[in-house]
Amino acid sequence: MPDHKIDATKWIDSYSDYLYNYTISRVSDSEIAKDLVQDTFFAGLKSMKNFKGEASERTWLISILKRKIIDYYRKINSKKGKAEVRMSYSSDSEDEGEWLEERVEDQSYKNAEDVLENTELSIAIYNCLDKLPEKQAQVFKMKTIENYDTEIICNELNITASNLWVIIHRARTALSSCLEKNWY
Amino acid sequence: MSCEEASHVCDKAQYNESTFLERLKLRIHILFCDLCKKHTIDNHKLTETIKKSNIVCLDSKSKSEMKKCLEKEIKNQNAKH
In chain A, what are the domain boundaries?
8-83, 129-184
Q: Which of B3, B10, B47, B58 is the mutation pick for testing A, counting most A CBs within 10 A? A: B58
| Chain A residues closer than 8 Å to B57 by CB | 17, 20-21, 141, 145-146
Distance CA B11, CA B18 (A): 9
What pLDDT is attached to residue A104? 56
Task: Please tell me which residue, A97 or A70, carries the higher pLDDT value.
Answer: A70
pLDDT of A130 strictly over 80: yes
* CA closest to B56 among chain A residues: A21
| Whole-number Å distance between alpha carbons of B10 and B25 | 11
Contact state of B55 with A183 under an 8 Å Cβ cutoff: no
Please answer yes or no on whether B45 and A21 come within 8 Å at the CB atom.
no
Considering only residues A110 and B54, tell me which one the structure prediction assigns the higher pLDDT. B54
Nearest to A141 by CA among B4, B53, B5: B53
Q: How far is B40 from chain A (nearest CA, A)?
A: 11
What count of other Cβ atoms lies within 10 Å of the Cβ of residue A18?
Answer: 22
**Is the four-CA dihedral A40, A42, A45, A48 of positive or negative sign?**
negative
Predicted pLDDT at B40: 95
User: According to the model, what pLDDT value does residue A102 have?
Assistant: 56
Distance (Å) from the alpha carbon of A98 to chain B's nearest alpha carbon? 34
Tell me the percentage of chain A whose pLDDT exceeds 90: 47
Mean pLDDT to the nearest integer, B36-55: 93
Single-letter code of the amino acid located at A10: K
The more confident residue out of B10 and B77 is: B10
pLDDT level of residue A119 (50, 70, 90 thresholds)? confident
Chain B, 39 to 58: residues with Cβ < 8 Å from chain A are 39, 42-43, 45-46, 49-50, 52-58
CA A112 to CA B40: how far, in whole Å? 32
Count of domains for chain B = 1
Residues A108-119 have a mean pLDDT of 66
Interface test with A, best of B46, B60, B68, B75 (most A CBs within 10 A): B46
Contact state of B70 with A45 under an 8 Å Cβ cutoff: yes
Residues comprising chain B, all counted: 81
Task: Please compute the mean of the pLDDT values over residues A150-178 and round it to a whole number.
Answer: 94
CATH number of A129-184: 1.10.10.10
Q: What is the mean pLDDT of chain A?
A: 82
pLDDT-derived band at A109, boundaries 50, 70, 90: low
Q: Where is pLDDT greater, at A4 or B14?
A: B14
Q: What percent of chain B has pLDDT above 90? A: 62
- Burial A123-145, CB ≥16 within 10 A → b, else e: bbbbebbeebeeebbbbbbbbbb
Task: Specify the DSSP element, H or E, that contains A27.
Answer: helix A11-27
- The predicted pLDDT at position A26 comes to 87
Cβ proximity of B53 and A121 under 8 Å: yes
Are B55 and A145 within 8 A, CB to CB? Answer: yes
Distances (CA, A) of A22 to A26, A30, A100: 7, 12, 35
Q: Which of residues 68-127 of A touch B (CB under 8 A)?
A: 118, 121-122, 125-126
pTM of the full predicted structure?
0.78
Q: Give pLDDT, residue A182.
A: 85
Confidence (pLDDT) at A1: 43
The total number of residues shown for chain A amounts to 184
Contact B66 A12 (CB under 8 A): yes
Which of B4, B7, B1, B14 lies closest to B37, judged by CA? B7
CATH topology of domain A8-83: Rna Polymerase Sigma Factor; Chain: A (1.10.1740)
pLDDT category at A120 given cuts 50, 70, 90 is confident
Q: What is the pLDDT of residues A18-77, one digit of tens each?
A: 999 999 888 878 899 999 999 999 999 888 888 877 788 889 999 999 999 999 988 887
pLDDT > 80? residue A101: no
A108: pLDDT strictly greater than 80: no
Question: Looking at residue A100, what is its pLDDT?
Answer: 55
Provide, as residue numbers in chain A, all residues whose Cβ is less than 8 Å from the Cβ of B73.
41-42, 45
Structural domain that includes position B41: 3-80
On the question of pLDDT at B38 being above 70, the answer is yes
Give me the mean pLDDT over the A122-149 stretch. 92
